[in-house]
Structure formats: structure tokens, C-alpha cells
Amino acid sequence: MVNKQQDTMDQSQTGARNPKWKHRGNILGVILILLTLSPWIYGYLTANAANAQLIGIYQKAEIGGSFNKFKANVRDLSQSHLTAHFWEYGALFDTPLLLGAVNWRLYIRAEDNQIQCVKIRTEDSQDQHPSDAPPDKGDCRCRLIAGEWVEL
């Protein structure tokens, strides 16, 4: 009799007799997986829109143009899928993260308040130009390293 009560208690604690607990565990597992993958899922669902927004900003950047004027103009553009970083010597725009680091980055280098370089690269490499991206503008023989432009 004692063994039967103990067996029943063990089964109810593990959820073996209560299928609700088993399903809740499956649901929680699926939710955990989706939360883990959500940045990449979001990136793939918005990749085309984000790249289009990036190209719109690329088109506003004119070589020799005022960097301050560019910053003011860009603030009016749709950037719902982008992350923007501005500093005295340029700007960096990122699209959402994609597996394989194929998401795009827009680099803009400025010197003395004039835009010198506009280029789109992949997240993985400042040397890898995406095949669908427009060509570089200006003299882009430089890299952004720790917030500073370094000539190559």
C-alpha cells in the first residue's frame, strides 16, 4: 500500500499522469528556441526592406557634400530597420543581423565636415562588397578601426 501511494506521488510530480505538464514543457521549449532565434528570424524577414533603407541613405551621401547637412537630411529618412552611429569623422549604419554575417553595413567617412567615402560592406568584412550593393563613392581605401579611419 505504501509503495502504491509513493508511486502515484512520484508520477504526479513528474507529470507522467498529467499530460498538461508534458505539453507545457514542449511549449516552453518551442518558446525558448524562438526567443533564441528571433534576431535572425527578424533579420531574414526584414532584410530587403533594411537594404532598401540603407541604399536610400547611401543615395543621400554626396562626395564633397557637407557631413552636417547629410546628418540633418538622414534624420528625416525612414530608418525603422537600421541602427545608426554618428561621430565627428563619419557614420555607420547597420541592418539587422543575419546568419553568415551577410547583413549590410554602410560606412561614411568625413573629413573637415566633407564626405570623403561612402561604401557598403558585409558585417563580416570591410573588404567584402555585397554583389547587390551599389558601387563605392569617393576614395574608399580606408578602414574603420576602433572608431578611427585608417588609410590603406
| CB distance 142 to 117 below 8 Å | yes
- Return the closest-CA partner of residue 140 out of 148, 125, 152: 152
Put simply, whether the predicted model's pTM sits higher than 0.75 gets the answer no
Question: How many residues are there in the chain?
Answer: 152
pLDDT reported for residue 101: 67
* Ramachandran angles phi, psi of 81, nearest 5°: -105, 5
pLDDT reported for residue 60: 93
Q: Give, for all 152 residues of the chain, the pLDDT tens digit.
A: 555 555 555 554 555 565 665 667 778 788 888 777 766 566 566 677 888 899 999 999 999 999 999 999 888 777 888 889 999 899 999 988 776 667 899 999 999 999 999 999 998 888 889 888 999 999 998 888 887 888 88
Distance (Å, rounded) from C-alpha 53 to C-alpha 41? 19
Give, in order, the Cα–Cα distances in Å from 5 to each of 9, 12, 53: 6, 11, 65
Q: Hey, CA dihedral for 26, 31, 37, 41, is it positive or negative?
A: positive
Distance (Å, rounded) from C-alpha 6 to C-alpha 56? 69
Distance (Å, rounded) from C-alpha 83 to C-alpha 105? 10
pLDDT reported for residue 37: 72
| CB distance 82 to 39 below 8 Å | no
